Chain A
Amino acid sequence: MTNSIAELENADCILVIGSNTTSSHPLVATRIFRAKEKGARLVIADPRKIQLALKADLHVRQNLGTDVALLNGIMQVILANGWHNQAFVDERTEGFDAFRKVTEDYPPERVAEITGVKADDIRTMAEWYAKAQAASIVYCMGITQHTTGVDNVKALANLAMLTGQIGREATGVNPLRGQNNVQGACDMGALPNVYTGYQAVNIPDIQNKFQAAWNAKLSDKIGLTIPGILSGLVEGSVKALYVVGENPMMSDPDVNHVEKALRSAEFLVVQDIFLTPTAELAHVVLPGASFAEKDGTFSNTERRVQRVRKAIEPVGDARADWEIMQEVSTRFGYPMNFRSPAEIMDEIARLTPSYGGITYDRLDGEGLCWPCPNKDHPGTKFLHSGRFTRGLGLFHAIEYKPPAETIDEEYPLWLTTGRVHVHYHTGTMTRNSPSLHAEMPEGYLEVNPEDARRLGVRRGDEVRVVSRRGHIVVKAMPTDRVEPGVLFMPFHFVESCANILTNPAHDPIAKIPEYKVCAVRLEKAA
């Protein structure tokens, strides 16, 4: 997030796009409710009638995968009416002319045809957002999990820059990170192209700094992302895979392909707290410790580094993951001898400018939001005040592109996937929690009552959902949360695994798969 969670309640316009906030980030929804209570305008752009839509001043239901068109349409209206912030554009940005040229090709009437959103609603969204004193954009995987995920995010950045709704309190472009420590994993360099703090592996000065600190020869070749690793396993260029606390056998698209890849591994190590479907395929399974059994830190979606504290000893013979990693490394011939996570953080701070001032003794109380470059720095509440990270904010001229897979005669329905309020990701933790399991013991398929009637399907009937990748059987739930022609299902349930169906086609830059759109057909199960 460019801004912090609490600031949201002071916005006077909030655009929520592609985030089912009350289910997936409930404590962010708290702030949105508060802003609404204080009189803010709430605009929801989501194909589904999510809970927040019940409180919205305006809810538009764009066709799946048409976000760039919708956002360009909004910006076309802003430009045509002169509602943009010319001073901000002049002082803080570049690339405006090329952007303007492309955006002008998206008048509301054309956009209405692509997105299914009424032209007048597009005008209203433009006016409310542009004219607000402080407008915030909140988005989540509904924006990013597309073959045009990067384009979608750039379009949101364009919108914020065009109107100067960034770099101030209660404004900004605010992605909600899905996992408790996905921000931290990125910050720590668990990515193929960067070390900690987004320091590129192929910049010689940085490579030299880490070589000296780690006393090792380092590669400047950018590594493989998950899709690359999986195809490497199938092709045979990747022989061994070490998986810590992840479950690609459920979380990745086209699970049948993932299984083939994992079974091709000459050596598969899985370190986890439960025997996940991924662990079942492993050659070695190492029992890690849960968050309650070790010390450490997590970095939340607003870049706040907070303490995790050990409450109990690891269960059985399980061990903290940092201790396991040290043991493996030492036996591999590269000794690691940290005595505590606090010591590891000291090394992280030495090598990472944005974490430079972070030490355990400073994390009591409220934690610290990075960038926190030194011991006296109080942390950073919102980014891009006065200056963007790259200097001038860069406008991108972005054309709308349809999703990779579209409906046809054989697969006439759209399918989109997401989370529910009581479950989490692949269900490893929540489905082992009796209270959460009882609240929702099995998966379901949301289908519009009109489509359900046509198929003769009632609540609780089993249906077969078929895509080009595979098929699953699941219980139907007729509901107007989805529009005719659109289906939704949560992806937490291994028995009705949504990711057997989803399309592995991914964004060319971010490599993020298009979970949010694929084409399917629906049949009554026997």
Chain B
Amino acid sequence: MDYRTVLTTCAYCGCGCGLYLEVLDGRVVNTIPCKTTPVNEGKLCVKGWNIHEFIHSPNRLTRPLIRKNGALTEASWEEALDYTAGRLWEIKEKHGSDSLAFLASAKVTNEENYLIQKFARAAVGTNNVDHCARL
């Protein structure tokens, strides 16, 4: 029996409510609002209360996919990463840095957004980075 409560921040709207995820034997089984986090003080909306539900959805992507003969086909990480980096490199060499563009995300962490724009700017050499701030 491996049971833990993990304090984290809700991933839905911009309120930023604190909540505990209940983890039992490697699965997130429930959500409990945190009483002491400043935004929500023990309260949540319906989305927050149910945020654990999509985590183990059978529809989650669990393997890299590469389009082969028109269809998305499961691939290893090695192959997918090499292919991705290789194609991006080829396109940069052939058409220049500004022929590549990046959509970062209002869903991923600060640290991840930082790395995405750093990759675009420092590795590829373009400022073509945007995300859905306007949507």
Contacts and interface: CB of A to CB of B under 8 A. Distances in A.
Contacts of B114: 188-189, 196, 344, 347-348
Given A219-B125, A300-B14, A181 B108 contact: yes
Interface residues of A, number: 143
A328 interface: yes
A283 B87 contact: yes
B54 A341 contact: no
B55 A216 contact: no
Interface in A373-415: none
A218 B50 CA distance: 43
B69 interface: no
Nearest to B27: A312
Q: How large is the interface on B (under 10, 10 to 19, 20 to 34, 35 or more residues)?
A: 35 or more
Contacts of B123: 216, 329, 332-334
A180 B106 contact: yes
Contacts of A306: 9, 16, 18, 37
A347 B122 CA distance: 14
B106 A185 contact: yes
B80 A284 contact: yes
A87 interface: no
Given A188-B110, A309-B8, A366-B38, A283 B26 contact: no
A494 interface: no
A176 interface: yes
Nearest to B83: A284
Given A24-B13, A219-B125, A269-B84, A244 B108 contact: yes
Contact of A305 (B15, B84, B110, B118): B110
A155 interface: no
B32 interface: no
Contacts of A290: 11, 54-55, 60
Contact of B87 (A24, A179, A267, A336): A267
A189 B62 contact: no
Given A219-B126, A436-B47, A190 B116 contact: yes
A435 B13 contact: no
20 contacts: A27-B15, A180-B10, A180-B16, A185-B113, A240-B91, A285-B61, A304-B38, A307-B7, A308-B11, A311-B21, A313-B26, A322-B112, A324-B81, A331-B82, A334-B119, A341-B111, A421-B45, A422-B47, A432-B57, A433-B51
Interface of B: 4, 6-18, 21, 23, 26-28, 37-40, 43-47, 50-57, 59-67, 72, 77, 80-89, 91, 95, 97-119, 121-135
Given A188-B110, A421-B47, 13 more contacts: A5-B15, A177-B14, A178-B135, A180-B10, A181-B113, A182-B133, A190-B104, A219-B98, A238-B99, A238-B100, A285-B72, A295-B109, A306-B37
